[in-house]
Structure formats: C-alpha cells, structure tokens
C-alpha cells in the first residue's frame, strides 16, 4: 500500500500515523521528494482499511498495490481450478459448452431443447425456474414446478443442470440442481453470496454489467472465503455508451482474468449480444480469446419463447456454432502445447 502525503504534512500527525501502522505490524518506508512524500507500507496490508488512512488531513491519496482478494488470486494459487460436474470438466484447458433456454417453460420445451443440445455436444443444460425480471409485470419463471422439470430432464435426458438463484431464501429448493447461477444483477447480493459460500455446489458468478474486474473477484472471494472453492466466472456483456446493443461483450476480460485468477472463465454471448444473429460471432470471439467455455441460449421456437427469444439460437444454428467453437479451441490448444 502506498500513502501519498499532502505537501508539508503536520509532523505530529505524521508520527501518529506511523506509530499506528507500526502497532499493526506494518513497516513504513518513506520516499521524500522535493514536492511530495510517499510512504511505502510493508506487511499484511489486507487488514488495513484504506479509508481510515485516506480520511486523515495529511493524506492526499492512498493506493493499494496488492490485490484485496486472496483466495481468488492466482499469485497464491498458481494452478487452474478445475471443476467436475458429472462428465463435464470446467477449467484447465477443456472447452465447456452450456446451452439451453432462458427459462423452463414446459416439459415439452425443456426436453426438446435438452435432447437437441446434448446431441450437438453440450456438456450442461441451462434453464431458469426463477427469473428476476426488471418489470414486475413480466413472466417470473415457473418456480418450484420448473425445478421439478429440471430434475426430470436429468433422469430422462441426462445433462447436468445449471439454474439461476437470486435470493438466499431459495437455496433449499436447489438441493438437486448441479450448478447454481448468480445473475448479473445479484453479483453484489452479499447475503446470497455468503449463503452460497456455505455450500459445496459449483457457482457460476456472472459479472454485473458495470462491475470492475476487482469487484467481480471480490464477489468470488465472498463465496471462496466461506469455504466453497467451486466458482466459475462468467462474462455476459457490459454496459457502455452504445445505445444500439443490449451489451458489449468484454473479451478483454478473458486474458486479464486468466492472469489474475485461477478460476475458470466462461462467456455468455447471448446476454451480451441481445440478438441471435450476433451470437455465433461473439461465441467464437470468446473462445478465441481463451475462455474456458460458453453459455448459449437455445430455444426450439424462439419467436414463442417467454423470455430472451430474440437472443436465442435454434438447435440447428447452435449445433453449427458449437462445431466451430470446438475447431477454434483446438487451434489455440495445439499452439499452447
């Protein structure tokens, strides 16, 4: 941690600050310039609240040099986290393809889509029973009935399931769901994250549409710090100034995060593009950037979907896209060998 002092700091206040830091086992190395003095703090600064120092009259600014997350940090955990769900392997060099409808709508719809995406090589099925919608007047999901249908899919079709949870109180209903998904709007719902930290279930943590990499990793840290090591990060498009698309897929996040953390990073080209015609291009871009997987919305009849119809692929288009992703993934993989 670096403390930048104001010009001509009061010597008593400065001594007070240094003693207080020393008392917390932090060594202080001053760098005195003609117009500026900087303090370099050495020790376990993760326990020091930056704001306490920033509030002092003699301080101009405080900058963190070390990352505030530990469990998620690749510096302390150099090896890739690899998560297994049934036959699926997430992280560590494989390509995971998650596909399915935005929401469970009916038994017929769910089974039709599940069979189709399984045949096209999907590793997991996604479908929400509980949908947090921005309008109180929109379809909110089938709820418990949706969970029941997901269980039936596992039995009959056999793909492990990913489904969205958005309140800590829903947790008991997800006992048989393989992977829990936290949506972008709940990335900083700490009551939910804390509850998930106490389970052992794999969690797909979507990035909030305007959250920084550090905030995202701090939300992962909430789950990891609770004891659950199975966190998968999912980039789903960020909010920018561009009005004509629903989101902007941040592919830069892929190489950046692969450097910062050992957790698997997947992308969701459906939420990002908001329009099915963009999905194949964005999915390919994500895999080409090094993502560990993709999550793609697929619907057997997109024009009648109860949510996200415009961004859903038909099973046929999905199959073609999945094939192309596997070929791009193998090119990158060969190169790294």
Least distance to a copy of itself, CB of residue 56, Å:
6
Rank residues 154 and 332 by Cβ distance to a copy of itself and give the closer one: 332
Angle CA 267–289–335, to nearest 5: 130
Rank residues 175 and 281 by Cβ distance to a copy of itself and give the closer one: 281
DSSP 270: H
Q: What is the dihedral of CA 44, 46, 47, 51, to 10 degrees?
A: 130
Rank residues 159 and 260 by Cβ distance to a copy of itself and give the closer one: 260
CA distance 132 to 150: 18
Least distance to a copy of itself, CB of residue 162, Å:
20
Rank residues 112 and 188 by Cβ distance to a copy of itself and give the closer one: 188
Least distance to a copy of itself, CB of residue 18, Å:
14
Residues in the chain: 337
DSSP 278: G
Least distance to a copy of itself, CB of residue 152, Å:
26
Is the CB of residue 300 less than 8 Å from the CB of residue 113? yes
| Residue for token pair 């829903």 | 170
**How many CB atoms within 10 Å of residue 188?**
15
Rank residues 94 and 324 by Cβ distance to a copy of itself and give the closer one: 324
CA distance 119 to 291: 22
Q: Which two tokens stand for residue 97?
A: 């393809």
Least distance to a copy of itself, CB of residue 190, Å:
5
Rank residues 123 and 170 by Cβ distance to a copy of itself and give the closer one: 170
Least distance to a copy of itself, CB of residue 47, Å:
7
Rank residues 23 and 32 by Cβ distance to a copy of itself and give the closer one: 32
Least distance to a copy of itself, CB of residue 107, Å:
21
CA 89 to each of CA 95, 97, 123, 264, 295: distance values in angstroms, whole numbers, following the listed order: 8, 10, 9, 10, 14
Q: Which helix (H) or strand (E) holds 88?
A: strand 88-90
The DSSP annotation for 25-54 comes to T-EEEEEE-SS-EEEEEES-GGGS-HHHHH
Rank residues 160 and 208 by Cβ distance to a copy of itself and give the closer one: 208
Least distance to a copy of itself, CB of residue 228, Å:
12
Q: Which helix (H) or strand (E) holds 212?
A: none
């Amino acid at each position: 941690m670096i403390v930048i002092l104001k010009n001509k700091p009061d010597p008593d206040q400065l001594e007070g600050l240094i003693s207080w830091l020393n008392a917390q086992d932090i060594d202080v190395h001053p760098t005195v310039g003609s117009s500026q003095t900087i303090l370099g703090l050495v020790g376990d600064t993760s326990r020091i609240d930056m704001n306490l120092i920033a509030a002092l009259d003699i301080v101009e600014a405080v900058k963190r040099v070390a990352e505030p997350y530990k469990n998620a940090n690749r510096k302390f955990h150099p090896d890739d986290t690899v998560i297994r769900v049934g036959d699926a392997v997430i992280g560590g060099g494989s390509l995971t393809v998650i596909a399915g409808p935005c929401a469970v709508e009916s038994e017929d719809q769910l089974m039709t889509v599940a069979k189709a995406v399984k045949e096209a090589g999907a590793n997991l099925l996604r479908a929400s029973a509980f949908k947090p919608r921005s309008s109180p007047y929109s379809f909110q999901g089938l709820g418990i009935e949706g969970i029941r249908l997901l269980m039936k899919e596992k039995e009959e079709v056999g793909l492990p399931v990913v489904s969205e949870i958005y309140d800590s109180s829903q947790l008991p209903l997800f006992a048989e769901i393989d992977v829990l998904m936290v949506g972008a709007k709940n990335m900083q719902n700490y009551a939910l994250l804390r509850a998930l930290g106490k389970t052992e279930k794999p969690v797909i943590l979507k990035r909030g549409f305007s959250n920084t990499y550090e905030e995202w990793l701090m939300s992962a840290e909430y789950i990891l710090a609770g004891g659950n090591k199975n966190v998968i990060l999912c980039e789903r498009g960020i909010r920018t100034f561009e009005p004509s698309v629903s989101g902007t897929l941040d592919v830069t996040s892929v190489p950046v995060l692969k450097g910062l953390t050992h957790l698997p990073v997947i992308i969701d080209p459906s939420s990002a593009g908001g329009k099915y015609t963009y999905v194949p291009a964005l999915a390919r871009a994500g895999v080409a950037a090094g993502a560990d997987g993709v999550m793609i919305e697929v619907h057997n009849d997109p024009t009648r979907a109860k949510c996200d119809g415009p961004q859903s692929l038909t099973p046929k288009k999905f199959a073609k896209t999945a094939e192309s992703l596997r070929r791009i993934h193998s090119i990158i993989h060969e190169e790294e060998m």
